[in-house]
Amino acid sequence: MSQANKQSGGSFLPKEYVKGRSQFRANVMALLLFVLVIAGVVGAFVVNHQRWRRVHQEQQQVAVAFKEEAAKIEQLKQLETQRIELIERAEVVTALKDRIPRSVLMGEVVRSIPKGLTLTEVKMEGERIKPPPPKVDPKDKAKTRSLNNKSVGAGKDEEEEKPKVLPPRFKFTLEIEGIAVENDQVADFLSSIKASPLFMHVELPLIDETIIDKQAYRKFKITMTLREQADARLVDGTQEYKIGRVDFGIAEVDSESE
């Protein structure tokens, strides 16, 4: 075998042909690898794009659901505001309504009179309780007033908040004067008044001896306060009935007349 064949590795092909064929194979392999890489990149892009579309659709669905829930929450807030306003109006109407008619009040006093005791004067006075002044926010002190009676803060006009209408509250005091033959009768009358669910702060500021037609009597004065939450239905023996706009009016039911 010749020296040239030994150098070419036992091949009879020319060196240029062998070298070119090897280069061609390398180029084909590089091209295949490039195609595989491009295919992987394109596939990853398609998969990510599909995922992004699904995420975007889910995001749109969540946004629509959020808007619907936000509208429902806003409706609930409006209903809650209306409910609070109705409750406040009901409180005002209830405060203006007399829960204890004067017939029931006098009936409760008369039923407590023991034998031998006489009332000479019954006086009732009412006083409206002033609500406490509203608390002033320190931040509101920095605000100034414009000519239109609007608060101005940070260079912007802000509408003044409407004052809250509070239900009126009243305090009724009852003063009773009378005479009795003995102190025990006054004590019994005082105990009966204290046991009534309509009165509180029952006191006996005066008890003294007096002479009427040469007869000795015990002159007394009792003061009491009507309970703010008192109700005529709490009085034993009352019967509820309605005549026109009257809810209560009978202080005791006579069983013998039935």
In the numeric block, which tokens belong to residue 161?
């908040």
For 102-136+165-257, CATH number out of 3.30.70.60, 3.40.50.1100, 1.25.40.10, 3.30.1180.20 equals 3.30.70.60
The residues spanned by each domain of the chain are 1-97, 102-136+165-257
Q: Is the pTM of this model over 0.85?
A: no
Q: Provide the residue-wise pLDDT of the chain in tens; the chain has 258 residues.
A: 444 444 445 556 677 766 777 788 888 888 889 899 998 888 888 888 888 888 888 889 999 999 999 999 999 999 998 888 888 777 666 666 666 777 788 888 888 899 889 999 999 887 877 766 666 656 655 555 555 555 555 444 444 556 666 666 778 899 999 999 999 999 999 999 998 888 889 999 999 998 888 888 999 999 999 887 777 776 765 555 444 444 444 434 444 443
